[in-house]
Structure 1
Amino acid sequence: MATSPGLLEDIERYFTTAARTDGRIDSVGAIDVPVGSPVWPHPARPRRGETVSADDVRAVVERQRAAGLPVALEWICECSPTAAAAVREAGLAVEESPLLVAADPVELLLPSGVRLYLVGADDPELPRYLELAAIAFAHPGPRADVGDPAVGAAPESPRTARLRERIATGRTVMMVAVEDGEPVAVGSHAPVDVDGTEISEITGVATLPRLRGRGLGAGLASALAAHARESADLVFLVAGDDDVARVYERVGFARLATVGVADLPDA
């Protein structure tokens, strides 16, 4: 495995390459702003090693809003040490999350009766899986005290259509865990060829709130990591917080750095 600085540089290149496949990248001061479809947006990112100013951040917000994109900035704190202060000076809040890499994979079995499936591009239940993820992320925390909102039939949306395209072309690999015929957890990884090296990010691992604490998320993350590592040289993820990071550490991920995020409403 490469040194940490080398890994961080590879991850930065991953984000740049992924954004370029979905649109152009505009330079705004020391920040790169991907401009593409709002259906599948990418956050703005400071260029590695450059000093970010509050004026840069304000200009990025204006550029994203003018393009009809959600306002979002993201950076690796160790690569862009001036970004957090600039974001705060611009009047925005900063959240930080652990960045982890798959270092020593551990295979975890899902609970008895839970089956794991790769999702195909033509799967008619795809909108339902996206609804499951929306429910899970709308109810953060280790476990809900009440039952989940119903995960029923969801309409086809532009984002669903884009996801079908990404699955068909191999840019997104999605897995769903099913119990008693019902989807209970979902997650993906997104492989990208970065100058001949495949790198993949695990994203969107979500479990229905009432079923948390059974190892579904850890088992799904383990399976996604194993699938990604069949062809990828580097697999990484950004955990929501330290508690979530500890779950991923159980399946062989190691903390590498910290990611800063400023996600803003468009109002």
Structure 2
Amino acid sequence: MDPLHGDLLARLERFYDAVPRDVARAEEHGALVLFVRDGAGWPFYARPRLDAAEPPSLADIQSVRERQRELGLPEAFEWVHENTPDLLAVARSAGLGVLEAPLMVLDPAALPDPATLTDVPLRMLDPDAPGFAADVAARRAVAAVGFSAAGTATGDAGPAERDAAVTELDVAALDEERTRIADGRRVSALAGTAGQGALASGMAMRVDDVAEIAGVATLPSARRRGLGAAVTATLAHALRDAGTDLIFLSAGSEEIARVYLRVGFRRIATACIAEPTALI
């Protein structure tokens, strides 16, 4: 492996390990570590331990799954194939289905101006704005509707379905969101119009000079208008302006990866996401 490529993958591995640690406890199961969130919020996953001398075994996976079932957590595992190549076969032998997602890194020189990608207004979420709570709820609702109809094809689901998916956030969730944006660990963006509201959304998590863009989603009725690419570019510009050196993401499919190619992302590896086969 090229030394520079290997160093980049090592930086990503440290990022993946660091992200959950401020809100979750780490439980070691052999060569795997399971992150268990303290309190409410999106559940985390298990992934290879940074300091493991051996690749994860079938027994390690079984131990984690038993613990996840005991805690009522999704039986979810994530890893970078190029960093832990033996885990793919082991996970499949354990009855897990594995999504092999293109892992892509931004070439800053190829990052376009978001305004060239769509004519729909874009904006960053501001934790001090009066409408911040509504913006966070809208971002989550757009993601819920968008990811329920995966892919890039247009569909019927639109603003009405988004509004039906809006849920009221508790004070703790909003405080966490405000704190993470204020200290630079998170950025969020919306694309939409005054008449239709939020049509696309996305966010990014940041640790030091590395950030992952995630949760980019567009309402099916608003697809094929460049919104996903524009939201991604908006987030990338904000991260670059904040001094982020390495920006990456995982595409859900080769089709979706082509959207990110337009924004300057290039594939460097494969992100593996494993769940019980019936859920894939």
Tell me if both proteins adopt one fold, taking TM over 0.5 as the criterion.
Answer: yes
2:48 is aligned to: 46
Q: CA RMSD in A?
A: 2.3
Contact 2:154 2:224 in 1 (8 A): no
Alignment of structure 1 residues 116-135 onto 2, 5 Å: 116-121=122-127, 123-125=132-134, 126-135=136-145
1:174 is aligned to: 188
Specify which of 262, 269, 272 is matched with residue 250 of structure 1. 262
Contact 1:31 1:45 in 2 (8 A): yes
Identity of aligned residues (%): 38
Cα deviation, residue 171, structure 1: 2.1
Contact 1:105 1:226 in 2 (8 A): no
1:260 is aligned to: 272
Cα deviation, residue 188, structure 1: 0.8
Cα deviation, residue 246, structure 1: 1.3
Write out the 4+ residue segments of structure 1 that deviate beyond 4 Å after TM superposition. none
Superposed CA deviations along residues 154-207 of structure 1, whole A, max 9, x for unmatched, are 2323584343443344322101012234111101111112xxxx1110011111
How many residue pairs get aligned? The number is 261
Superposed CA deviations along residues 110-134 of structure 1, whole A, max 9, x for unmatched, are 422x211111236131212211110
Superposed CA deviations along residues 11-56 of structure 1, whole A, max 9, x for unmatched, are 0000111121122211101111112235133221113563221111
Does structure 1 residue 163 correspond to structure 2 residue 168?
Answer: no
Cα deviation, residue 222, structure 1: 1.1
The amino acid across from 1:254 in the alignment is: R
The amino acid across from 1:132 in the alignment is: V
2:30 is aligned to: 29
Distance 1:167 1:69 in 2: 27
- Higher helix residue share: 2
Contact 2:82 2:269 in 1 (8 A): yes
1:98 is aligned to: 102
Alignment of structure 1 residues 112-261 onto 2, 5 Å: 112=119, 114-121=120-127, 123-125=132-134, 126-148=136-158, 149-152=160-163, 154-158=166-170, 160-161=173-174, 162-181=176-195, 182-193=197-208, 198-230=209-241, 231-261=243-273
Structure 1 residues without counterparts, runs of 5 or longer: none
Contact 1:31 1:44 in 2 (8 A): yes
2:69 is aligned to: 65
Distance 1:44 1:84 in 2: 14
Contact 1:105 1:225 in 2 (8 A): no
**TM-score, length-normalised on structure 2?**
0.85
Contact 2:133 2:169 in 1 (8 A): no
Name the CA shift for 1:206/1:145 in 2 (closer, same or farther; >3 Å): closer
2:118 is aligned to: 111
Cα deviation, residue 79, structure 1: 0.5
Structure 1 stretch displaced more, 227-236 or 162-171: 162-171
Cα deviation, residue 88, structure 1: 1.0
The amino acid across from 2:14 in the alignment is: R
Cα deviation, residue 65, structure 1: 2.4
The amino acid across from 1:243 in the alignment is: E
Distance 2:22 2:217 in 1: 26
Distance 1:206 1:130 in 2: 10
Distance 1:12 1:233 in 2: 15
Distance 1:258 1:40 in 2: 23
The amino acid across from 1:224 in the alignment is: L
Structure 1 stretch displaced more, 235-244 or 63-72: 63-72
